[in-house]
Amino acid sequence: MKKILIVLAIIIGLLVLIGLTIAGKYNSLVKQEEAVKTAWAQVENVYQRRLDLIPNLVETVKGYAKHEKDVFIEVTTARAGVGQMKVDAGLVNDPAALQSFQKAQASLTGALSRLLAVAENYPALKANESFLALQSQLEGTENRITVERKRYNDIAQTYNTSVRQFPTNFIAGIFGFKSKAYFESEPAAAKAPVVKF
């Protein structure tokens, strides 16, 4: 009888230890997943800041460059395309959706570059305080986007590593924790630009 109680105590002890280990791993995954969601929310925040700056920048340039209609349409169309996308924390669970989001953002970045190139043709515009302030804010926002995307990728990498490591991968599989998608560079970014004078 005493041996049975000892064996039973050992089994119960092992079950409690296993239960505590599973609970600890689960809680760790929840904490890391929430960190990924928070990082993603910050990425969305800086993209929204850029979207909010664009109408002011376009209107300021429009006042000087009335015949650059195609550029204004391109910026407005790209901004509308980004604005119409359904963006939420679930986007990071779908690599194809994240890639589509990145394409829309890249299109907007390209249109903004062309808008700023148009501004170069108007010396009075380049000297305008409002334009300079908006341009500075936009440059700062682009830098913030880069920083927040890197932070997101770092946090997603930590989470993805946990989801794939043994024995946490079993717990992740049981409770439905899945790897998060990363921000990736545009395919053209791997090719060095050609500079000709």
Distance CA 132, CA 113 (A): 15
Q: Which residue is associated with the tokens 């280990």? A: 21
Give this prediction's pTM: 0.69
The 3-class secondary structure across the chain, one letter per residue, is: CHHHHHHHHHHHHHHHHHHHHHHHHHHHHHHHHHHHHHHHHHHHHHHHHHHHHHHHHHHHHHHHCCCCHHHHHHHHHHHHHHHHCCCCHHHHHCHHHHHHHHHHHHHHHHHHHHHHHHHCCCHHHHHCHHHHHHHHHHHHHHHHHHHHHHHHHHHHHHHHHHHHCCCHHHHHHHHCCCCCCCCCCCHHHHCCCCCCC
Q: pLDDT, tens digit, for every residue of 31-69?
A: 999 999 999 888 888 888 888 888 877 777 776 666 566
Query: Residue range 95-121: average pLDDT?
Result: 76
Residue 197 lies in a domain: no
- Is pLDDT at 114 greater than 60 in this prediction? yes
Residue 67 lies in a domain: yes
pLDDT, position 127: 65
Average model confidence (pLDDT) for the chain? 80
Q: pLDDT, tens digit, for every residue of 171-182?
A: 999 999 999 988
Residue 48 lies in a domain: yes
Q: Pick the range with the lowest mean pLDDT from 73-77, 130-134, 148-152, 187-191.
A: 187-191
Residue 190 lies in a domain: no
Share of the chain above pLDDT 90, in %: 28
Query: What is the CATH classification number for the domain harbouring 67?
Result: 1.20.1440.20
Residue 105 lies in a domain: yes
Residue 194 lies in a domain: no
Residue 53 lies in a domain: yes
Residue 185 lies in a domain: no
The encoded tokens of residue 187 equal 């395919």
pLDDT, position 192: 52
How many domains are contained in the chain?
1
Residue with the larger pLDDT of the pair 138 and 65:
138
Q: Pick the range with the lowest mean pLDDT from 41-45, 100-104, 111-115.
A: 111-115
Parent domain of 169: 2-180
Label residue 27 by pLDDT band (50, 70, 90): very high
Distance CA 129, CA 194 (A): 33
